[in-house]
Chains A and B, each alone.
Chain A
Amino acid sequence: MHGLAYDATHDEVVVPVALGAAVLTFRGGATGSEAPIRTIQGPKTHLVRPHTLAVDEKNDEIIVADTSSRSLLVFSRDADGDIPPKRIIAGPKTGLLFIVGVAVDPIHDRIVAASASSVRGGKTGVFIFGRTDDGDIAPVGLIAGPHTGIVRPWQLAIDPALGRVFVAAINNENHPPYALEMPRKDLPPDADLPSPWKTGAPGFVGMWNISDTGDIPPRGIIEGPDSYLVHPAGVAINPSTGEVFVTDGVRNGLFTFLAPGFFSKEANASHYADPHPDWSGR
């Protein structure tokens, strides 16, 4: 399970089940093997491999990022059963492919997705859509390129009050050897694929504005040996305390950083230095 969201307004926890093509909603205080209070599952849902999700508490919606249907599926928050999505953002104009992060900003009316593509002409980065977008529509913003430092993004978090997007740039190189059941035909039999645990590009947590677009460095960053981060995958925030929470699969751990500057207006002043200028040629 690579995603989840907490809905503070309704005190609920919402999780995707990738292998069961479902979205489950639990009581906020659920524990043990307690059953979900709602389940979205079935052929009408268009769910295939729901990877992660976000809850729009203001507009009563759940936004699901599905890596197999290559789509962002928007459901009513209280949807239960085999219910079709209200809106679907998908198609070649969207640029979405391997969508592994999603967040919603109900103040600036934006849905933000982290997507990676290794196909010819594909884009890897942070895709910003209008919140009510529907269909095969181009993003209004795309944060991507060598100056962003993003080799592979993962989970996203948003501070809607300031319009800030936090990106866990896991940055490990993942070369899947198989296309589902069989070895990839585009790889030689003796291919020496790197272990994702042993790749050279360290990850970081970067922060951008919701209005940012293009190949631009983050405005704030947590990185480097002192951070202990290797390939950070998860990110969440608590703006009221200035804390940034990060999970890292290599460390198999959960980190808390105190970074009040990320939550002050002054951080808008300028972009942080290019996180990895030596990557520009990648």
Chain B
Amino acid sequence: MNKIGRRRSLALALVSFSTPCLLFTFLRPKESRHNNDETPAVMLATIFPEEICLSPKLDGLVDNEEMSSSIGGELPPIRLVSDPYPTFNGISLDVENNRVAMSDENRKGVLVYDRAGGNKSSVATSPLRQIIGPDSQIGYIAGVTFDPAHREIYAVNNDLDDRIVVFDDDAHGDVKPKRRLFVPHQAWGISVNPAADQFAISVQQLSMVAIYRREAKGLEAPLRIIEGPSTGLADPHGLYWDAGHHEIVVANHGNYSVIASYSAYDAGVSSQAMSAGGHFLPPSLNVFQDSASADAKPARTIQGAHTQLNWPMGIDIDSVHEEIAVANNGDNSVLVFRRSAQGDVEPVRVIRGPRTGIVSPMGVAIDAKNDEIWVANYGDHTAEVFSRTATGNAVPKRIVRNAPAGTPTGGFGNPYAVAYDSKRDQLLVPN
């Protein structure tokens, strides 16, 4: 089989995306099994761009003859599903310096683009800078944020790495972070308050917000935490520290349980957790006084059927127009609420529909200065820029692409399991 044939046999497919907790179904055409000339259900890329590809080289795919008598060893795979392109997740705007940063969960990096970049072209947009590589210690990254006041950029590793890494904002390549702070498992969102010289993070599995000294590093403990049943925090993701109003806003998926020790380093079993039971709460936006700690009640909560909240991911606040924007991953939309809203309220605007191109949004950022709103899509290789007041089935003004238009996304987010559906001849992979 020639090299092109081997390349063609590589990629299978993706059907739909999720956030860190869904299933993917990969079609595996029966007629193609054990056939190196197989046609995948969906091609991720006909030819992988090896210069940016972290996936393995492609020349090792094996002929059936080589495999027939093998009982193991250094077996090359006969098929591989892997997305060689970045997938956008978190997003942060630095309007003063005309930059936008996005985390790349798939390839484990941070991409920085020109704020005015993007267009209607189908060609991938060139980033200004990219932080990527083992020395960067960027892993399964979620949140990212600029701190323009200190010319720094923060990256939050969500699963596995348990660390935040901080770089100078002109960092590029496989560079070591200038600071590294270990944090609880499953940190997701981050927001810096330069005036308080602190930052806050959300922690999924602990249903917690932790506030740290801005220059914290190593194993420095948080200054305080917001955690407990009164907080209403439940699998929190997006977080924004609204310094102007002295509030912290947190987006919650709604999964809640009393956490107990679970690691291989702790022998204990919590009887309290054993008897607590889990809960599925409606998703919410919880607003706390930024001095809150412990089991504090939120000052306001946006929650209920009218809100349309569905797996709310990243959030941002427009202090000029007094609005909160939400990347509403569960229904491929962006919701905008009044900043002071509370209860079971409807959003004041919703960007949703096939013309929007919004697919599994993870991040959102408001640019009040230029009257724009950015959306980072995980389900497509795009970040889109809309007019700030766009509503309904709106068309984006311009698009930043991290792959040529039409390139499917792999959709994986730290895949740690797989199952084989023998009835449909499909593979199921949870994120």
Q: Which residues of A contact B (CB under 8 A)?
A: 1-6, 8, 11, 13, 15, 17-22, 28-29, 31-33, 41-49, 52, 67-70, 82, 90, 97-98, 116-119, 122, 124, 154-155, 172, 174-184, 187-191, 193, 195-198, 207, 218, 220-228, 233-238, 241, 243, 245-249, 251-262, 264, 266-267, 272
A193 to chain B, nearest CB (A): 7
Contacts of B278 in A (CB 8 A): 17, 19-22, 41-42, 47
Q: Determine if B415 and A236 form an interchain contact, defined as CB atoms under 8 angstroms apart.
A: no
Q: Determine if A261 and B69 form an interchain contact, defined as CB atoms under 8 angstroms apart.
A: yes
Residue of B nearest to A67 (CB): B262
Q: Determine if B219 and A177 form an interchain contact, defined as CB atoms under 8 angstroms apart.
A: yes
Stretch of B113-121, B269-277, B376-384 with 4 or more beta carbons under 8 angstroms from chain A: B269-277
A228 to B78, CA, bound (A): 11
A85 to chain B, nearest CB (A): 12
A121 to chain B, nearest CB (A): 10
Give per-residue flags for B380-421: 1 if the beta carbon is below 8 A from chain A beta carbons, else 0.
000000000000000000000000000000101111111111
Given A3-B417, A4-B23, A252-B410: A45 touches B277 (CB 8 Å cut-off): yes
A187 to B264, CA, bound (A): 15
Q: List 23 A-B contacts (CB under 8 A).
A: A4-B430, A6-B420, A8-B423, A17-B255, A42-B277, A90-B269, A117-B264, A118-B265, A119-B264, A119-B265, A119-B267, A175-B265, A176-B162, A181-B222, A189-B218, A224-B73, A228-B76, A236-B419, A252-B413, A253-B81, A254-B80, A254-B82, A272-B72
**4 nearest A-B residue pairs (beta carbon):** A21-B278, A261-B71, A253-B82, A224-B74
Tell me which of B220, B263, B422 contacts A98 (CB under 8 A): B263
Q: Determine if B70 and A261 form an interchain contact, defined as CB atoms under 8 angstroms apart.
A: yes
Q: Does B258 contact A (CB under 8 A)?
A: yes
Q: Which of B72, B137, B264, B273 has the most CB of A within 10 A?
A: B72
A123 to B397, CA, bound (A): 58
A-B contacts besides A82-B277, A234-B429, 18 pairs, CB < 8 Å: A1-B22, A1-B431, A4-B428, A6-B421, A15-B430, A17-B278, A41-B277, A41-B280, A48-B274, A175-B265, A176-B265, A234-B415, A247-B418, A253-B55, A254-B415, A256-B79, A261-B71, A261-B72
A89 to B5, CA, bound (A): 50
